Amino acid sequence: MAANERVATLTLNRPDALNALNAALLRDLDAAVSRIEDDDDIHVVILTGAGRAFAAGADIGEMLAYNAVEGKKFGAYGNSVFYRLENLNKPVIAAVNGFALGGGCELAMACDIRLASEKAKFGQPEVGLGITPGFGGTQRLPRLIGSPASMELLLTGRVIGAEEALRLGLVNAVYSPDELLAKAAGLAKTIAAQPQVAVRQIKQCVRKGAQVDLSTAIAFEAEAFGVCFSTEDQKDSMAAFLEKRKIDSFKNK
């Protein structure tokens, strides 16, 4: 993990295995999430992969001999790590530089924003291996692109390119491989420069609100709106707006 200008870059680093998600890599990711969560100097996270892949999926060699109990345990652990990432108190940008298949696609979907290289490939090909997605694919994919398109991809295992992923709404933007990390860094710095109490409240509202009915979600938003009015940044920013002056930086409190 590397940090710069309040942005941490977290790189999956098993390039020889196309960053396949084995138990050890999941534990490392879990530990990294804990460190980031406790570090107030980090405002935004970029998640990417070393080499030719973001993550080519869960490690099939490791899973081959699992029985039903072991398979369920592995899926539950992966899901718990991805859920922690999804609900991290800081925005997470996935910079998908290559294959994001199976668990790799699920990991990208647990991030808040997804930017893709033109070489990126997405898919949930688990059905062809005789299994279901195990790290949230059957739940996050329909929430992102809708049920009909998700059902087709999940039931056929079809792999799609970056432009189709953009058309479906799975990714926010597509860039050349050489531009990808720079574009992710630029977006991260823009978010990191905003008042962070408001940033974190917005993320929490979106994440929590997606799981409940509209009236409950609106109540979450009202609470978050009120919290922001207890901050110095709200007072300073509104005063600056009325006085037609610019604030160079925020206090984040």
213: domain CATH number?
1.10.12.10
Mean pLDDT, contiguous 10-residue spans, the chain (253 residues)? 80 95 95 94 97 92 92 95 96 97 97 98 97 96 97 98 98 98 97 95 94 94 95 94 90 87
2-4 and 7-12 strand pairing: antiparallel
Which residues does 234 contact at the CB level (< 8 Å), separation at least 6?
A: 195, 198, 228
Which of the listed residues 150, 171, 192 is the one where a domain comes to its end?
Answer: 192
Instruction: Give pLDDT, residue 249.
Output: 84
As for how many domains the chain has, the answer is: 2
Whether residue 157 sits in one domain with residue 32: yes
Whether residue 172 sits in one domain with residue 203: no
Q: Which of 37, 62, 70, 106 is an active site residue?
A: 106
**Residue 253: Cβ within 10 Å count:** 10
Whether residue 203 sits in one domain with residue 188: no
170-188 pLDDT, tens digit per residue, is 999 999 999 999 999 999 9
Residue 182 carries which DSSP code? H
| 62 classed as catalytic | no
| 106 classed as catalytic | yes
CA 112, distance to chain mean position in Å, is 4
Whether residue 235 sits in one domain with residue 159: no
Q: Which of 5, 70, 118, 126 is an active site residue?
A: 126
Whether residue 132 sits in one domain with residue 10: yes
Whether residue 184 sits in one domain with residue 97: yes
**Residue 137: Cβ within 10 Å count:** 21
What range does the domain containing 223 cover? 196-242
Whether residue 96 sits in one domain with residue 162: yes
Q: What is the CATH number of the domain that holds 111?
A: 3.90.226.10
Residue 31 lies in a domain: yes
Identify the three-state secondary structure at position 170.
coil
Whether residue 59 sits in one domain with residue 173: yes
